[in-house]
Structure 1
Amino acid sequence: MAELNELIAQQLFGVVAVLAVLVILLLIIVLAQSVKVSRLRKRYERMMAGAGVEDLESLLLNLKMQTDSVEDEQEKQRRAMTLIEQRQRMAKTKLGMKRYNAFSDQGSDLSFSFALLDELDNGIVISGLHNRDSSYVYAKPLEQGASKYALSAEEKEAVELARREGTR
């Protein structure tokens, strides 16, 4: 019986020794995890400092709302820019002017032809004819640089000057 007690004591001592080693290993693991959690908490607190919110979920929701607002504003600006570009294409920005003497026997270069075109060469040509007794002004619409009304040589030259203005 003494042998049995001694054998049980040895076995019990072995089990206790193994348990003690396990407890020490678990204690080391717990300490290591505690250090990692402490570092994470410090990083979390630094990240949340000055954010004006108490938790990460609120911060993320706030950032999502701000992002949505920025995207909405950006879409408004995109639409406005498209509208501006469409209007700009229709703006009459190409100009051409030709001065000449319409009546060679009298006066000077007081007559003119003035062409005003947009990006697609649509617009108007205005001609003013001046002589000693009177002045006349004519306007002719232009579509793609041509008019359904006959253009004089000076009007054609003014249109060509305006077209060249747009290629610079």
Structure 2
Amino acid sequence: MTELNQLISEQLFVIIAALTVLVFLLLFVVLSQSVKLNRLRKKYERMMAGAGIEDLESLLLNLKMQTDSVEDEQEKQRRTLMMIEQRQRISKSKLGVKRYNAFSDQGSDLSFSLALLDELDNGIVMSGLHNRESSYVYAKPIEQGASKYALSPEEKDAIEIARREG
């Protein structure tokens, strides 16, 4: 019987020792987790300091609203830019001028042909013919660099200048 008591006592000692080691191990885990939690809490408080916001959820909702606002503004700017690009394509931005003497027997280079074209070479060509007694101005529509009306060599030159330099 004493042997049985001694065996029970040894097993009890081993169990108590194992439980003691387990308790210390769990105590160590709890303390390390507590330290990590405190570090995380301090980081959170530093992040939220001066933001005027109570919690992270409010901060995230505020950032989401700001992001939505920026995206809306960006979409508005994109539409405006597309509209500007469309207008720019049809604006008469190519300019060609050819000065010449329409009447070789008198005067100087007072006559001119002026071509105003857009990106697709649509527009007008204007010619002003000047002599001592009078001046005449003509305008002809231009579509894709040509006109349904007969063009003088000077008008063709003005269109070519506009296409080349525009």
SS at match of 2:150: coil
Tell me how large the CA RMSD over aligned residues is: 1.5
SS at match of 2:106: coil
Match of 2:64 in 1: 64
Q: Which amino acid aligns with 1:50?
A: G
CA distance in 1, matches of 2:108, 2:16: 124
CA distance in 1, matches of 2:120, 2:23: 86
Query: Residues 98-155 of structure 1: CA distance to partner in whole angstroms, max 9, x if unpaired?
Result: 1111122222221111111111111110011111111111111101110111111111
Report percent identity of matched pairs.
80
SS at match of 2:165: helix
Match of 1:144 in 2: 144
User: Given the alignment of the two structures, is residue 75 of structure 1 paired with residue 102 of structure 2, yes or no?
Assistant: no
User: Given the alignment of the two structures, is residue 24 of structure 1 paired with residue 40 of structure 2, yes or no?
Assistant: no
Provide the aligned length of Structure 1 versus Structure 2.
166
CA distance in 2, matches of 1:4, 1:114: 123
User: Given the alignment of the two structures, is residue 10 of structure 1 paired with residue 10 of structure 2, yes or no?
Assistant: yes
TM-score, scaled relative to structure 2 = 0.92
Q: Which amino acid aligns with 1:122?
A: N
CA distance in 2, matches of 1:129, 1:118: 25
Q: Comparing 143-152 with 10-19, which one deviates more in the overlay?
A: 10-19
CA distance in 2, matches of 1:155, 1:42: 79
Structure 1: which 5+ runs fail to align?
none
Give the Å deviation of 1:3: 4.9
Give the Å deviation of 1:39: 1.1
SS at match of 2:116: strand
Q: Comparing 8-17 with 152-161, which one deviates more in the overlay?
A: 8-17
SS at match of 2:125: strand
TM-score, scaled relative to structure 1 = 0.91
